[in-house]
Structure 1
Amino acid sequence: MDFEILKRQIEDAAKKAFLEVYEKHGAEGVYSFALYSDEGAMTVCPAANTIKAMEMADEDDALYYKYEPAEWTYEMEGADEEFDDICTQLRTELNKHDDDDQWFEGFQAKLYSICIEVLEKLKNENFFTKITGKDIFLIFTVSDYEFEMEELKNLIIRLNDNEYKNEYIDWMATWGN
């Protein structure tokens, strides 16, 4: 698999997904965008949330709903065809190497890294800010998988130069308490 081509495809799909969500739901106050995958590295999907959706969140768990892409209102919305094509390519590649655990670990790590690099590139180009006029919380996550705390903290710092970064890191400090 040509990871440079895959990276461009993920970038193009992420841009299209965000634009589609913003066009449909921008009036709701889009504040977040994520790319996420699964532990089997078979998918890449977008997610977004809005301030309006957050108004309905339970106060006790507000930060969880604010920052957990699996709970966001616009999960798997936008650039459907593009993300479907990406997922098909990933599954095809995985099927070629069905029983090679060492190959899989490298593939999985590279896919996750590419998703993070795409989000970082879009942040650095001010892609989201140019569209919304404000900072957007960015995250990459993996369903049914937990990053090490320090790895997650570094990811949040890398993808967010805004008030969301500090709030997320403060929230992390409460985990397990």
Structure 2
Amino acid sequence: MDFETLKQQIEEAAKKAFLEMYEKHGAENIYSFALYSDERAMTVCPSSNTVETLKEIDEDDGVYYKYEPAEWTHEMEGADQDFNEICTHLRRELDQHDEDDEWFQQFQAKLYTSCIEVLEKLKNENFFKNTIGKDIFLIFTVSDYEFEKQDLKDIIIRLNDNEYKSEYLEWMETWGN
């Protein structure tokens, strides 16, 4: 698989998804955007959330709902056709290597790294800030999969140069306590 081409497709889809979300929900104060995949590396999907949505959340669970893309209101919304094409392409590639565990491990790692690199590129180009006028929280995550704590910390630091980074890292310190 040509991961440079895939990264370009993911970048274009991510931009399109975010712009669609801003057009539909900009008045609700979008504060976050995520790309996520699954443990089998068959999908790449966008997710975003708004400050307006957080007002409806119980304060005790607020940080979790603020930072967990699976709980965000606009999960799997935006650039639907683009992301569906990416997912179809991933599944075809996976089907060709169905029983090759070593190949899969490399494929999965390259896919996850590609998604993180796309988000980092968009952050460094100020795509989100130029679109809505402020920094937002960015994350890459994987459903039904847990990153090592240090790996997740590295992702948060890499993708966020804002107040969200500090709050997320402080929240991480409470895990397991």
- Normalising by structure 1, we get a TM-score of 0.99
- The 2-side partners of 1:11 and 1:5 are apart by 10
Superposed CA offset, 1:102-137 (max 9, x none):
000000000000000000000000000001111100
Q: Which residue of 2 aligns with 1:175?
A: 175
Q: What amino acid maps onto 2:104 in structure 1? A: F
Matches within 5 A, 1:109-128: 109-128=109-128
Q: What amino acid maps onto 2:113 in structure 1? A: S
How many residue pairs match? The answer is 177
Matches within 5 A, 1:88-103: 88-103=88-103
Q: Which residue of 2 aligns with 1:62?
A: 62
Q: What amino acid maps onto 1:2 in structure 2? A: D
Q: Quote the sequence identity (%).
A: 74
Matches within 5 A, 1:65-84: 65-84=65-84
Matches within 5 A, 1:3-152: 3-152=3-152
Superposed CA offset, 1:44-81 (max 9, x none):
00000000000011111100000000000000000000
Aligned CA RMSD, in angstroms, stands at 0.4
- The 1-side partners of 2:26 and 2:107 are apart by 35
- The 2-side partners of 1:100 and 1:176 are apart by 35
Query: Secondary structure of the equivalent of 2:147?
Result: coil
- The 2-side partners of 1:130 and 1:61 are apart by 31
Query: Secondary structure of the equivalent of 1:138?
Result: strand
- The 1-side partners of 2:45 and 2:57 are apart by 23
Q: Could you list the runs of 4 or more consecutive aligned residues of structure 1 that deviate by over 6 angstroms after TM superposition?
A: none
Deviation at 1:8, TM superposition (A): 0.2
Can you give the 5+ residue segments of structure 2 that lack an aligned partner in the other structure? none
Deviation at 1:176, TM superposition (A): 1.0
- The 1-side partners of 2:5 and 2:131 are apart by 25
- The 2-side partners of 1:119 and 1:69 are apart by 14
- The 2-side partners of 1:87 and 1:65 are apart by 26
- The 2-side partners of 1:149 and 1:5 are apart by 30
